[in-house]
Amino acid sequence: MADKNQKRLPEWIRVKVNRGGNRDELSNELRDRKLNTVCEEAKCPNLAECWHERTATFMLLGVNCTRACRFCAIGYDKPEPPDPNEPGNVAETAEKMDLEYVVITSVARDDLEDEGSDQFAKTIRAVREKLPTAGIEVLTPDFNGKEDLIRMTLDAMPTVFNHNLETCERLSPPIRGRAKYRRSLEVLKNAKEWSQGKVLTKSGIMVGLGESDEEVIECINDLYAANVDILTIGQYLPPSRKHWKLDRYVRPEQFEEWKEYAEKLGFSAVASGPMVRSSYKAGQLIKAKLEEQQLNLKN
């Protein structure tokens, strides 16, 4: 499906470079409140577009991760202590931006007793207080599969609980470090069960790391078996030469085939394309499913 020796970006991958008042205003707001975004730290190619549209994924608990996943641009160093003002600052910034959908993620914090789950819970509640009608999506680490920590986050009632599978089972050990393929599936399955279906579950995978098309299908099947509602599939782009080497560029037609397969399988919502990232246009992706869920809860 792709030329492994290709060095230049293919024509179907185009990074937008929007600038202007919205982007600059958001950047200043984040700096003033000492907030971080995964958009910046993970060098997301969609940053300019999303910031111009006044959307961002807030990243909790600093900019240094306790895991050194080989695909990720986020720093690996001694983490900073949790900021007690962070939940309130995120909520106030989200309110000032008048967001209808708020995405919250974090670095992995294996050094903390609660691994950051309490900061997630506090931030969810703080945002809910400021924006009671907004959707709230959390993109969490695996919390090492610990039930009490996962439940702590779920009990704060996010709209969506997102945890990324990232890649196929064969490549997971060398690429994801301490994270485990089967454990991630269990986290997602348990999140659905422990929330009694009140919280939507979501996961994403990257392609171009060395997986086969068949292994992508296996990932899709495994996530569906774990009762995941929402799926994202996007092209891996190495953040630097030191990161995991790119194996291939996948053509848009293949992404569309995977999307059709996942939708026929039964996923509620699927985003599959070269520039898709886990949090990209997250609110738009779940809009129909969220309306359906809210209707069912009323009935």
48 is written with which tokens? 């300019």
CB 103 within 8 A of CB 69: no
pTM of the full structure: 0.86
Pairing status of strand 57-60 against strand 36-37? antiparallel
**Close Cβ partners of 14 (under 8 Å, ≥ 6 residues apart):** 275
CB 240 within 8 A of CB 266: no
pLDDT band at 235 (very low <50, low <70, confident <90, very high): very high
pLDDT band at 45 (very low <50, low <70, confident <90, very high): low
Give the tens place of pLDDT for each residue, 189-200. 999 999 999 999
Give the sign of the dihedral formed by CA 37, CA 40, CA 41, CA 46.
positive
